[in-house]
Structure 1
């Protein structure tokens, strides 16, 4: 009996050692990547900045394959460039990869400690906030209520472009700022329910863009945060001051809307329902049923404005740039609009479905020039094995959107602008832009954290592209050929903004 007991204990001990050794080996089997050192991360950051990350990743993927690991500071960050692998992670195993990385303690104030949709952890709070946005503002019946707002903004945009064209000797315009301001006007109306004057809109826009662009200066806090939070404390203070200014601008609008809503309940006065109105009614069951704090409303309103402004205005500029570079595409689009739309004025929203080539032009613009070359980072909520590699719990997962849309195995001549590739094949060329069946392009992400504003963004792009092409012929300005070089800001923008000569198509 003693011999059997010794043998059994020896066997159990050996099995335990083998299990622990195997587990340790599994835990270190991360996807391949460059050499890293504890706390500091990859040594390549001594020679490169985060601004070089896309070209750097292309080299790493060529060397190591479609999934690589970088260490930005102490955290492992996984980067995926393959569309099939992205579908496996985001759709097939979406539940395990739908979380968000926890923000650094020094930057939590920017999202009210993850109390917004884009940064909230995958759980009850995220579901509540996303459901509120989808049902109260982005539902098609709600979106239709803002048709008058889109007509108003189209008038603002057209006025800016006509004035700029008339004031230049050759009739040329630099459309970037006009596009951005028009989209911001529209999102301010949807967010706050008010047609504010230009000065007020500019003030909100300045506060938003200031903190949005400055936030990149906080990236250094990812490297050895115990030290950098002290060394770069002035950057944190600057960001905090920008946040304070943003709050000061938004709080009067929040208080006015609360009073407006109370008065409407008392008098049955009619007013335009806004995103802010929906936030005033939100209760957080997981936090004792409390309402949203004013700071949290500021974060959610800021998120709403940012998400719908830069991405749409950037995509609009890229699409119009391609129409200038490809006059035959622009001519075909104009002829189809003219033959399909009966009204003599602006193209109405309900008429957009009559112009299939319009949707093809917009989709090709998003494929060739996605405003975001990466989706927002995901985080693993548990340890998962993918393609023989172990993705640790809480690891950050990133997806290279542009690389997937330029995959030569899917798209013939992927760097060329060819809207015809989206015609036929069961609508939009048989491409499911949501990526639920297969990912061929993913400008809005995919899976459970796909951009909730997908439908609104497509509507805005189709509406404004159709009307800009109907109102003007967009020609290359003499001496200013369209340059497709890129630059990273909040989105991937044109390094040299589009300058085009506008020829009005109608005397009005």
Structure 2
């Protein structure tokens, strides 16, 4: 932590004892327990721990204080919940609407970033309109089918990348890079309706990753005394704005191309292998969206370019890192568990059409593969890409587990802890897909958490991930095709390690580097 924190802590420490004893002990006693804190600065533990990597700290705090813990990050009150029953009561129960807002990001006000996106908008009319547009116009099954040629194309891209990686002697290849690039190709195509060449996709990917990593790692300092840190760390704000401009400069030509197609009335034919422009895109739907105009009562307005850019960025980020991270963990488990891989391969061969020209596991065959779905669910249970849901904000004072959650407090939930709960799952750290088949302890599990939470890789309640169904389709489709194409084995010197590392998602600390043996 920067030197200014030590100085600020030393200055404020003298106030701590007085304020702690003279404050309203009655109201504070009902807050969930937590470590000592200093006004304005927050918990003293931030002198030794980073707010950007809070999970190991929280696991120690849960062991000490119980399943619900209070932390103070600067002036913000943050409450973390690890118990699945408390999570269900808070998010799905009658009071769930009170916990459906989002906290404002530390950098939003500093950078002028719009909150009119699905993941950041408060629970209300704007959020419902944007989410309904995404679900009905892009993620509805009829729309998802329009992108089947895109998935078939990306399957070829992915397998070609893996073949190229497989040429590396001794398995010295990082398949995560192939996963990320391929999933990004797919999301770019779905977003902008354009099949771009690799340099163009790489440029967008680099811009998105640079923006995302900078915001998540370098802007957390503004949680602490923002009126002061905005001056001390002005350079970080300038860098973030430059990254914003780079993103905008790449997106706007693609957005304007769809706008021109729409304006001219041009009809885009159903895409064949030779076409690069697709019939439908997420941007097309955004050009039709109208919001209430805050400046003129009773009127509406179209989305601004900045709002469309932000929504496109959200679309790309939400579906790329989560899916590619899920693929890496699942394939690592298949490498480490060859019997599971063999059983899955047998099901794929039995259920697939072996006569199709492309040797492809088609989307139509996937519903005939219950073990494939079990493999995906077990991967998401043991290795959820996000160990936290996106944070919630209390819209009013509320009660969770007998503790008071004050209005404005940020509340988050420990996804990985719930999926690995030894009281709920037999051998929780073992990879056993059969638990989701008849007779297993995972039979009938509801990942939406409507009746009860046993695992929640997509969140639960009113802010559950809108892309749940398409995410499952992508995982099933690409895992099936990779297992059919290659035998995945451990490479000497690159043994699979399940150590974790927090990036935007929780990834493998030592990336998967398998030996790929072509089957056909």
Whether TM-score is above 0.5 comes out as yes
2:498 to 468, 480, 484: 484
Q: Is the 8 A contact 1:116 1:300 kept in 2?
A: yes
In the TM superposition, residue 283 of structure 1 has moved relative to its aligned partner by 0.2
2:280 is aligned to: 273
Q: Relative to structure 1, is the Cα distance of residues 351 and 213 closer, same or farther in structure 2, using a 3 angstrom cutoff? A: same
1:11-410 alignment, distance < 5 Å: 25-26=26-27, 29-92=30-93, 93-104=95-106, 106-108=107-109, 112-166=113-167, 168-170=168-170, 173-215=173-215, 216-263=217-264, 265=265, 267-270=266-269, 271-285=278-292, 287=294, 288-344=299-355, 345-410=359-424
**Structure 1 stretches of at least 4 aligned residues deviating more than 3 Å after TM superposition:** 108-112, 267-271, 425-428
Whose Rg is larger?
A: 1
In the TM superposition, residue 115 of structure 1 has moved relative to its aligned partner by 1.1
In the TM superposition, residue 55 of structure 1 has moved relative to its aligned partner by 1.3
CA distance in 1, matches of 2:361, 2:116: 39
- 1:453 maps to 2:454: no
Give unmatched runs, 5+ long, in structure 2.
1-23, 270-277
Write out per-residue CA displacement over residues 347-393 of structure 1, whole angstroms, 9 at most, x where no aligned residue.
00010011100000000000111000000000001101222211000
Q: Relative to structure 1, is the Cα distance of residues 161 and 42 closer, same or farther in structure 2, using a 3 angstrom cutoff? A: same
Give unmatched runs, 5+ long, in structure 1.
1-22
Q: Relative to structure 1, is the Cα distance of residues 133 and 262 closer, same or farther in structure 2, using a 3 angstrom cutoff? A: same
Q: Relative to structure 1, is the Cα distance of residues 149 and 108 closer, same or farther in structure 2, using a 3 angstrom cutoff? A: farther
CA distance in 2, matches of 1:289, 1:338: 54
Q: Is the 8 A contact 2:84 2:418 kept in 1?
A: yes
In the TM superposition, residue 343 of structure 1 has moved relative to its aligned partner by 3.1
Write out per-residue CA displacement over residues 233-261 of structure 1, whole angstroms, 9 at most, x where no aligned residue.
11111111100110011111111110012
State the secondary structure of the residue aligned to 2:162: helix
CA distance in 1, matches of 2:207, 2:222: 22
In the TM superposition, residue 428 of structure 1 has moved relative to its aligned partner by 6.3
1:493-504 alignment, distance < 5 Å: 493-504=507-518
Q: Relative to structure 1, is the Cα distance of residues 111 and 305 closer, same or farther in structure 2, using a 3 angstrom cutoff? A: farther
CA distance in 2, matches of 1:357, 1:46: 48
Q: Relative to structure 1, is the Cα distance of residues 110 and 432 closer, same or farther in structure 2, using a 3 angstrom cutoff? A: farther
Total equivalences in the alignment: 482
CA distance in 1, matches of 2:261, 2:383: 41
Give me the TM-score of the superposition, normalised by structure 1.
0.92
In the TM superposition, residue 285 of structure 1 has moved relative to its aligned partner by 2.4
CA distance in 2, matches of 1:466, 1:388: 46
Q: Relative to structure 1, is the Cα distance of residues 197 and 405 closer, same or farther in structure 2, using a 3 angstrom cutoff? A: same
Q: Is the 8 A contact 2:171 2:513 kept in 1?
A: no
CA distance in 1, matches of 2:238, 2:53: 26
Q: Is the 8 A contact 1:120 1:126 kept in 2?
A: yes
Q: Is the 8 A contact 2:192 2:283 kept in 1?
A: yes
Higher alpha-carbon deviation: 43-52 or 346-355? 43-52
In the TM superposition, residue 29 of structure 1 has moved relative to its aligned partner by 1.9
1:473 to 487, 504, 511: 487
CA distance in 2, matches of 1:230, 1:367: 43
State the secondary structure of the residue aligned to 2:431: coil
In the TM superposition, residue 172 of structure 1 has moved relative to its aligned partner by 5.1
CA distance in 1, matches of 2:66, 2:442: 31
Q: Relative to structure 1, is the Cα distance of residues 62 and 427 closer, same or farther in structure 2, using a 3 angstrom cutoff? A: closer
2:425 to 397, 408, 411: 411
Q: Relative to structure 1, is the Cα distance of residues 111 and 230 closer, same or farther in structure 2, using a 3 angstrom cutoff? A: closer
Q: Is the 8 A contact 1:378 1:398 kept in 2?
A: yes
Q: Is the 8 A contact 1:315 1:365 kept in 2?
A: yes
1:6 is aligned to: none
CA distance in 1, matches of 2:68, 2:128: 29
Q: Is the 8 A contact 1:111 1:299 kept in 2?
A: no
CA distance in 2, matches of 1:449, 1:240: 29
Q: Is the 8 A contact 1:111 1:119 kept in 2?
A: no
CA distance in 2, matches of 1:315, 1:197: 25
